Structure 1
Amino acid sequence: MADSLRDQLLKSGLVQKLKVEVKPAPAPAKPQSRHVQNKPHHARPDQAKRPHDGDEKQRRSSAPAPAKSAEELNLARAYALRARDEKQERERTERAAAEVAREKKERKQKLAQLVSGKSLNDASAEQARHFTHGNKIRRIYCTPEQLIKLNLGELGVVQNTGRYLLVDRETALAAQAIDTDALVLLPDPNAAPDDDIPADLIW
């Protein structure tokens, strides 16, 4: 009885048998990652597989748009061509109007320079010489000598800035070269007299 229980078991061979029969304990499970640990345990498998609403919207927005038909493409092309043509026409019209305005301004400046200091209008003149301009009867006052020269074509009448100016024939022709509308009256000295109308007639 002095032998310990362990010694007795060894002698009987029971300890050896127990060692053989005892299976090793399973290895402890590895700790799961933080992401897996934070996953809610109450989520159902079908919910985990179903995509989120945001992902579905993003998938829909990234989906390619349906291709346009040939008719739609032709219509869009026709609208674009018409818009381009209309724009070009507007630009041409604006350029033409700007060019006309520029030329008109230049003519006015040249005409003003031409007649500057060459007006023969006499403030004391009392004889009116009538003429037609703009489908209306107009008049300019002359001295008796100026009236004869005007009827003979040695003088002429030029309009500048709304005024009628009596000028010599050379200046009148130069004004006509600048602007045909500027020359209002310049009788032809070589023209045959009409019905023997005297050159000094006042009408």
Structure 2
Amino acid sequence: MGNSLQDQLLKAGLVDQHKLKQSRSTQHKQGKQAGKRGPQVDAEARQAAERARVEKAERDRELNRQRQEEAALHAAENEIRQLIHANRVVRDGGELVYNFTDGATLKRIYVNKEQHAKLVAGRLAVVRQDTFYEVIPAEIVERVRARDASLVLVFNQPTAQPDADDPYADFQVPDDLMW
């Protein structure tokens, strides 16, 4: 059972020793040549490896660019958050309600009388920070707007000239009107 076909043919006398050696050497040479690659196949493999390396380098550059953009975005968000937190006006003990809109929803914060007057006059502004609202001075509003204008919810600026065609120009809305 352990005998190969060549050994069995040799024992049966169908093949002589010389033919057996010749057959083995031919098989050995074919096996070696199959292991060797020709110059054409070698060049193609190098080109494929070079293409793969270039594509990987491009993907890596793109990933690095995206990571840098994300890091810059997070840094800007943190900068805004620190700017608002450092310059917010303390609203403890506010007895007046100041109503404003955040998108389509009506929101309210409690401020004192002086802060309410400043909000109406445009010397204070309401900004959104994460999930809550802060009151900050007008000087800081411009810096916040430069970084992200969507955070500024209320910043009253007086109009220079009323419209000439406005039929209600003679009727001014009082500043202390509560709604």
The bucket for the TM-score relative to the shorter chain is: 0.5 to 0.7
Tell me the matched-pair count: 153
After superposition, the Cα gap between the structure-2 partners of 1:115 and 1:66, relative to the gap in structure 1 and judged at 3 Å, is: closer
The answer to whether the Cα contact below 8 Å between 1:121 and 1:142 also exists between their aligned partners in 2 is: no
Separation in 1, partners of 2:73, 2:121: 31
Structure-2 change in CA distance of 1:61 and 1:153 (3 Å): same
- Displacement of 1:133 in angstroms is 2.3
Write out aligned runs for 1:38-187 (5 A). Answer: 46-51=16-21, 54-63=24-33, 85=55, 88=58, 90-187=59-156
Note the C-alpha offset of 1:56: 3.5
Shift of 1:156: 0.6
Deviation at 1:91, TM superposition (A): 3.6
Question: What is the TM-score normalised by the length of structure 2?
Answer: 0.63
What SS does the aligned partner of 2:106 have?
A: strand
Residue in 1 that maps onto 2:174: 198
SS in 2 for 1:120: coil
Displacement of 1:150 in angstroms is 0.8
Identity %: 23
Note the C-alpha offset of 1:113: 3.3
TM-score normalised according to structure 1 size: 0.56
Question: What one-letter code is carried by the residue in structure 1 that aligns with 2:17?
Answer: Q
8 Å CA contact retained: 1:127, 1:202: no
Task: Give, as a single letter, the amino acid of the residue that structure 1 aligns with 2:124.
Answer: L
Structure 1 counterpart SS, 2:68: helix
Distance in 1, matches of 2:61 and 2:122, equals 43
CA gap 1:198/1:163 in 2 versus in 1, 3 angstroms: same
Between Structure 1 and Structure 2, whose CA radius of gyration is higher?
A: 1
CA RMSD of aligned residues (A): 3.8
Label 1:113 to 1:202 Cα distance change in 2 as closer, same or farther (>3 A).
Answer: same
The one-letter code matched in structure 2 to 1:199 is: D
Residues 162-171 or 190-199, more deviating? 190-199
Greater helix share, 1 or 2? 2
Matches within 5 A, 1:13-32: none
Distance 1:45 1:108, change over 3 A: closer
